[in-house]
Amino acid sequence: MITDRTVLTAAHCLDLDVTRDPKYTKRPYIDPYLKVEAGDFTDIYSSKKTIEVIGHKVHPGYDFHTDRVRLDYDIGLIYLKKRPLNRSPIRLCTSKYAQYDINVIGMGMIDPISEAMPDVLQQVRLREHNTVDCAAKGHNYSGHPALKEKTQICLIGDSKDSCFKDSGGPAFPEITNTCLYGIVSRGGTRPQGTKDCGWDGSIGIGIYMRVSAFKNWIEENA
C-alpha cells in the first residue's frame, strides 16, 4: 500500500496473456474477480477482509504484447474501493540502499519442486548486486534481456530468493524508517544448471523494479 487506497504491484500481475499463447487476444486485461485481502498474514488464524478493486493502471512503457523485452517497465497500480483498517501506507524510496540488507516478503512458493505454498507470510534478507555482478552470477534466463540498472534491481541470496507467485511483492531496506525499494518482477530465476529459487543450495537471483525510478509516475497516478 502506497496510499490509503492504492496498491503498487507488477504490471505482469494484471496481464491476462501470461501464457503467450497466440490463440489469446493480446490486450490489457484485469481479472474481474481480482481481490485484495487485508489482515495479519503472519498469523494463519487471524481474520482477513476482502477489499473490492475498482480499477487499475499499468505503466505506459509496459507492453502487453512483448513484455519479454520490456521488463524494465513492469509496474502497475491497483485502486481499492475503501481503505483497509489498521493498515498504513509505506513511503517510496528515493535513494539507493545497496549497502544494506534488503528484505523481501511474500507468500510465493517455498519449494519449487513440490510447488508447496506457505500458510503464513515469509521473509528473506537479500543483497543488491550491480549489473556486472548479476550477469556474472548467471542472470540470463529464458532469453530475457540484460538487467537495466536504472530501472531494475538485482537481489541475490545464498540458498534463498523470492520465488514464483511472489510477483508484485515489496522489497525494502533494513533501516529504521524503511521505504518501498523494489517490486518483485522476476523472482525464482536461476543460473544455468541450478534449481529455481536457490533451492539446491546455490545462489538465488531475483529481478525487482526500482521504485525510485518510477516515483513521479507513481505519485501522479496514485
Q: What's this model's pTM, rounded to 2 decimal places?
A: 0.84
Kindly tell me the burial class for residue 166, based on how many C-beta atoms sit within 10 Å of its own C-beta (0-12, 13-18, 19 or more): buried
Q: What is the pLDDT of residue 99?
A: 95
The answer to whether 159 touches 191, Cβ cutoff 8 Å, is: no
| Residue 178 burial (CB count, 10 A) | 16
Kindly tell me the burial class for residue 122, based on how many C-beta atoms sit within 10 Å of its own C-beta (0-12, 13-18, 19 or more): buried
CA distance 205 to 16: 25
- 6-89+215-221 against 102-212: fold identical: yes
Q: What is the pLDDT of residue 161?
A: 82
CA distance 24 to 122: 34
Q: At a CB cut-off of 8 Å and minimum separation 6, what does 174 contact?
A: 100, 101, 102, 103, 125
Sorted by where each begins, the domain ranges of the chain are 6-89+215-221, 102-212
User: Which of 98, 101, 73 minimizes the C-alpha distance to 11?
Assistant: 73
Kindly tell me the burial class for residue 63, based on how many C-beta atoms sit within 10 Å of its own C-beta (0-12, 13-18, 19 or more): middle
Please tell me the least confidently modeled range out of 14-23, 70-79, 118-127, 179-188: 14-23
Which percentage of the chain shows pLDDT scores above 70?
A: 74
The CATH code belonging to domain 102-212 is 2.40.10.10
Fold for 6-89+215-221, please state it: Thrombin, subunit H (2.40.10)
Question: In Å, how far are 54, 120, 198 from 193, measured between CA atoms?
Answer: 43, 30, 11
Distance of CA 16 to the CA centre of its chain: 17
Query: Confidence band (pLDDT; 50, 70, 90) for 104?
Result: very high
- Does the pLDDT value for residue 203 go beyond 80? no
Q: The C-alpha cell of 107 is what?
A: 507468500
What Rg value do the Cα atoms of the chain yield, rounded? 17
